[in-house]
Amino acid sequence: LPLFDSIAYSKYPEHNFVYDKLYIAKTQNLKCGLLKDIEFDNIQYPIFIKPRYGHKTETSKNCFKIKNKGQVKKYIKYHDMMWSEYIKDKESMTDFILLNGNIVYQITYDYSQSTNGFVDEYKFISIDNKPPEKVVSWVNNNLKGYTGVVNAQYKGDKIIEVGLRLGKTGSYIKSTQDNALLRNINNVIDHNYWD
């Protein structure tokens, strides 16, 4: 089971397109584009800028909410950056387990409303937490035939990032102390089987 995006990107060449955040935005009809091609006067601020490729970056490095044209110009020289419309909704994430393109399990983490800087103060894990239907549909439509784990981060029902690994290298899943779940995740990866 890959712990990091760079390893997952290499391990799953048929599905590693999910690391292109511009692709993610375009498949949801978000206003977006390459930062180097931005038309400063033809977009509505605020916007959000970030590195385009998720497997080449770490955490939230070079991610910025931009309020005006002057702020954009400070970052225009950054390589492989993209912009998208700013999404005000609360952030959440879901780890999906897929077997041959079918979701066999999901665990959704509900983020705290309060933050410490950019970081939420806690994540609430419960079997009752469910991802938005649009997120589930996106995973079903874009990961046909995939077997493995998928971490989707989203604001409201708009996906902002996808990785072919578990959130926080699996520490949230481990924290459930659910041995049957851990065994089944390993069964999917090692034996193509879910019980």
Q: What is the DSSP letter of 101?
A: T
Measure the CA angle with vertex 72, ends 66 and 78; round to 5°: 115
Question: Taken in order 107, 108, 112, 117, is the CA torsion positive or negative?
Answer: positive
- If phi > 0 it is left, if psi is from -120 to 50 it is alpha, else beta; for residue 110 that is beta
**pLDDT (tens digit per residue) in 125-151:** 888 999 999 999 999 999 999 999 999
What pTM was estimated for this model as a whole? 0.92
**pLDDT (tens digit per residue) in 61-118:** 889 999 999 999 899 888 899 999 999 998 899 999 999 999 999 999 988 777 776 6
